[in-house]
Every structure is written in C-alpha cells, then in structure tokens.
Amino acid sequence: MTTVCLKKTMRTIAILFIFLAFVGCSADYSWGWYAISPFNKLGMSNIKFLISGLGLTVSVSLLSIFFAIILGLLLAIVGLSKYKVIKLITITYIEIIRSVPVLVMILWIYYGLPVLAGVNFSASVAGIIALSICESPFIAEIFRSGFEAVPKGQNEAGTSLGMRFFERFRFIILPQAIKIILPALGNQFVYMLKMSSLVSIIGLNELTRKANELVVSQYRPLEIYTFLVLEYLVLILIISYFVRRMERKLSN
C-alpha cells in the first residue's frame, strides 16, 4: 500500500480507538484489552485465533464473486436477446433473487436443499452458492448498464464489417464495458466481503465465527468485536486500494 493509504488507515483506526475510549469512559466500562493484546501470551493466542479465519473469508468471497460474475454475465448476455420470452425469464429471475435476503438464501440452501433434493453441501460450498446466486442479479444489472454505455455506432461498425454477434461482443462490446463497470464490480466485491460474515450462521469458521467463539470463552465482546471491525476495515481498505490501481491502469 502507498504511504497515503497507510496514513488514512492508521488515522481511521486511531479515531475509532479514541471514540471507543470516550464511550467507555462515559459508560464507566472496565476495558479488558488484555484479551487481544499482543504483549501477553493470552492476547497473542487470541489474535492468532481471530486472524486464522481471514483466509477462509477471502477465499469464500473470491470464489463467490467469481461465480457471481460468470452467472451475472450470462444473465446480461441472455438479456440482450430479441426474444421476449427469454427476456421475461431473465427479468423474473433477477427480480425474485433480489427480493430474497442473503441470510435466508444461505439457510435455505444449507438446510432446505438436503430435504428437498437430498443434496448435502458443506458450510463453505453452501455459502459460496448462496452468495453467488444472491449477487448475480446485481452483477447482471452492472453488465447491462456497461453494455448500454458502449456507443451503438461501434456495434454497427462491427456488423458492417461482417462480424457475428459473439465476435462483436467479444472484441468490441465486452472490453469497453469492463473498463466502464470495473469500479462497480470492485464495490460489489467489497460488499461480498462484508456479506460473507453471514455464512458464520451455518458454522463456517471465517472471521465472524472465530470472533463469536472467542467471545463465548473470553467474555470480552466489545474488545473482540472491535478487533473484528478493524480486521474488516483493513481488509476492505487494501482491496479498495488495489481496485483503484486497476482502474488507473485500465484508464491509461
């Protein structure tokens, strides 16, 4: 990360700690930072336990956004069809899935599908499927807006050159649309990172689940959940930094 980004991160963390200290003093709260202090054996052990869920959180988020992009792209391509029936099916799918809460979808896939279809998924697989499905309608709308932003004259020029639909789509429309929608896709990945915390409800040992388990044993919810907030804060700031770098490279 650049120095400017690092300074912003440290400033945000400092402000958060000052705010918590002020609230704690006003509420006569007895802080127990020893539970997550790197300067004692217990705190260091707890920090390692909390951070151990980081890899699973990132991997679930990456796989979920990857499959959501594939499904969303397919929905957007199908939405370009001239057939009204196909368009209606696509619109119906998008509207239905957008109306279902992510948490409900996770629970339905993990607990409902085994009863309905006899298919059992692990917590990680069920979480990835649910997050991908719930995110796909939003990705589809992002792709659709990107396709519409490409000047129609370029598509018509490709047609005049004898290019077929998929050739025009691959070489003319898609490359330009990706440059346009990249910031929105980056924001959706950040959103996916945050939504991945919901998978903890079915037992996935990601960041939030680790924090919940530690709270039960240490009885320091404020300190532990504050550390969880900082974990997500730093993670999202890092992701946002790389998304901005990618935007600058594509814009050149």
Per residue in 176-193, pLDDT (tens digit) is: 888 889 888 988 999 999
Q: Is residue 233 domain-resident?
A: no
* Model confidence band, residue 237 (pLDDT cutoffs 50, 70, 90): confident
List of residues 6+ apart from 179 with CB closer than 8 A: 250, 251
Q: Is residue 145 domain-resident?
A: yes
Question: Taking 50 as the threshold, does the pLDDT of residue 1 lie above it?
Answer: no
Question: Taking 80 as the threshold, does the pLDDT of residue 6 lie above it?
Answer: no
Q: Is residue 4 domain-resident?
A: no
Into how many domains does the chain fold? Answer: 1
Contact, 136 vs 164, CB < 8 A? no
Q: Is residue 17 domain-resident?
A: no
Q: Is residue 74 domain-resident?
A: yes
Average pLDDT over residues 144-167: 83
Q: Domain range holding 91? A: 59-203
Spatial separation of the C-alpha atoms in residues 37 and 20, rounded to whole Å: 16
pTM for this prediction:
0.85
Q: Is residue 54 domain-resident?
A: no
CATH code, 116: 1.10.3720.10
Q: Is residue 244 domain-resident?
A: no
Spatial separation of the C-alpha atoms in residues 84 and 90, rounded to whole Å: 10
Q: Is residue 120 domain-resident?
A: yes
